[in-house]
Chains A and B, each alone.
Chain A
Amino acid sequence: AQSVTQLDSQVPVFEEAPVELRCNYSSSVSVYLFWYVQYPNQGLQLLLKYLSGSTLVKGINGFEAEFNKSQTSFHLRKPSVHISDTAEYFCAVSDRPGAQKLVFGQGTRLTINP
């Protein structure tokens, strides 16, 4: 069964600094990867996804992630964060897209300090 590990439970950074949120998954023949953001008291919003093709995936709000098969990683990055990026971020994996459950990591709380 798939599993996801988010290596940092909390990440504090200063505004306009770069950030990387780390995500590793258990190896599988095929894997589909997602990053979601959860703002306080809200549901989950899809930031980006990797299904196939280019290993560098660009998402909304200036975020991007790189799929690294050899390291079984899918780290999320943003070159310059804003106060509004303060939220919980979840990495998730599926064995195939569509009609298949997602397995979530434990989440990383990103806190942006002025």
Chain B
Amino acid sequence: SAVISQKPSRDICQRGTSLTIQCQVDSQVTMMFWYRQQPGQSLTLIATANQGSEATYESGFVIDKFPISRPNLTFSTLTVSNMSPEDSSIYLCSVEGSIPRAYGYTFGSGTRLTVV
């Protein structure tokens, strides 16, 4: 299965600032997914990123707050903009298995964000 490198692993940020999270995959994948895990909660999909096109956002998430880039088939970034304490969460990127019939979504180790 794919191996994902996600950076930074954690950060403490001031409210009103922005943080960009990077997700690098060791193989080419069609779709990349960005999830949020609020404290003590399950995972919620923020958006799906397809190379060369606009990301598709889930209900409750907007591009101005969570802009996403997907410049190639192995890399994506998620920016958390104009942060507030409510944005304190773990953010995870995920990809589907890049090998045909391997089907299984692989997750990065996550970025633990604290906004103060």
Contact = CB atoms under 8 A, between A and B. Distances in A.
Q: Chain A interface mostly helix, strand, loop or mixed? A: loop
Contacts of A51: 103
Interface stretch (A22-30, A40-48, A61-69, A78-86): A40-48
A34 to B, nearest CB: 7
A101 B30 CA distance: 13
B107 interface: yes
B43 interface: yes
Contact of A107 (B6, B42, B109): B42
B66 interface: no
A19 B44 CA distance: 27
Give chain B's interface residue range (CB within 8 Å of chain A). Answer: 20 to 34
Contact of A46 (B6, B92, B104, B112): B104
Contacts, number: 56
A43 B42 contact: no
Interface in B86-113: 92, 94, 96-97, 103-110, 112
Contacts of A42: 109-110
A44 B92 contact: yes
Nearest to A32: B103
Interface string A29-40: 000101010000
Given A41-B112, A42-B110, A51-B103, 20 more contacts: A32-B103, A34-B104, A43-B6, A43-B107, A43-B108, A45-B107, A46-B105, A46-B106, A97-B103, A98-B97, A100-B96, A101-B33, A102-B94, A102-B105, A104-B42, A104-B44, A105-B42, A106-B41, A106-B42, A107-B42
Interface of A: 32, 34, 36, 41-46, 49, 51, 90, 92, 97-102, 104-107
Interface of B: 1, 6, 30-31, 33, 41-45, 48, 58, 92, 94, 96-97, 103-110, 112
